[in-house]
Amino acid sequence: MRPSENSGFIQRSNSLAESVYDAIFAQLMALNIPPGGRISVDSMVRELNVSQTPIREALGRLEGEGLVVKTHLIGYSAAPQITRRRFDELYELRLLLEPISAAKAAAGMDEAKLAFLQEAGGVMGRRDGSDERIRYSTFARQDAVFHDRILDVAGNELIRETLNHQHTHFHIFRLMFHSRVTEEALDEHEALLAAFSAGDAQAAEKAMRTHLEHSRDRLIPAFE
């Protein structure tokens, strides 16, 4: 297990806990820590060259996001993979709520809101040449932020809270580590941003529905 191809050590910074979190998160997203796999705090201490404190803080945060499970007298492990039934239910829920939210966001779009969404869309920094595993884990988080910001702009806090509670993006990105997932999703983000820029509610609703359907179809092979 490694946070990057170049080094197993965490670079010291003003935010050590955040760096440790990012390293473990990247390993979970790239399946270097497989679903159900044991996570040894002592092994992480040696691998990342840090003390137990930031590792336990990171694992606690990941536990809150549903990615890590802590079992009494056993310790930490990566959460099990979501089932096909759960996967289908998550996409059914998203297809009910997110397209109409995208339409609502587009209908009330202004320059400040558009800039807010463009910053999170990820399209400006695509194909930056960084390590593929790091890019993948970064995009998993970025995709979650982008969708959350659309819901924020749409203005329905109940929908936003409901979807956030599911930690959908982290679970679905853990199904498959593949660059296609990132590149095709970025193309779909561009289509969404174009609809938002035009203030076209109908186009935004259609672009979101297409994005979700394609995302679902890209990940279904993980269950085969």
pLDDT in tens, 32-63: 899 999 999 999 999 999 999 999 999 999 99
Mean pLDDT for 159-171 is 89
String of DSSP letters for the chain: --SSSS-SSPPP-S-HHHHHHHHHHHHHHTTSS-TT-EE-HHHHHHHHT--HHHHHHHHHHHHHTTSEEEETTTEEEEPPPPPHHHHHHHHHHHHHHHHHHHHHHHHT--HHHHHHHHHHH--TT-S----HHHHHHHHHHHHHHHHHHHHHHHT-HHHHHHHHHTTHHHHHHTT---HHHHHHHHHHHHHHHHHHHHT-HHHHHHHHHHHHHHHHHHHGGGG-
Question: In Å, what is the CA distance from 43 to each residue of 1, 38, 104, 128?
Answer: 10, 10, 48, 31
Radius of gyration over every alpha carbon of the chain, rounded to an integer in angstroms: 18
Per-residue tokens: 99: 């397209």
Q: What is the pLDDT of residue 4?
A: 38
Mean pLDDT for 145-174 is 92
CATH 1.20.1050.10 fits 16-78, yes or no: no
pLDDT in tens, 68-100: 999 998 999 999 999 999 999 999 999 999 999
Residue 11 has pLDDT above 50, yes or no: no
CA angle 158/147/219 to nearest 5° reads: 115
What is the fold, at CATH topology level, of the domain defined by 84-223? Four Helix Bundle (Hemerythrin (Met), subunit A) (1.20.120)
Question: In Å, what is the CA distance from 96 to each residue of 68, 91, 130, 184, 186?
Answer: 28, 8, 35, 22, 22
Residue 181 has pLDDT above 80, yes or no: no
CA separation for the pair 186, 45 (Å, rounded): 35
Question: What is the residue-averaged pLDDT of the chain?
Answer: 87
| Domain layout of the chain by residue ranges | 16-78, 84-223
Sign of the alpha-carbon torsion through 64, 65, 70, 75 = negative
String of DSSP letters for 199-222: T-HHHHHHHHHHHHHHHHHHHGGG
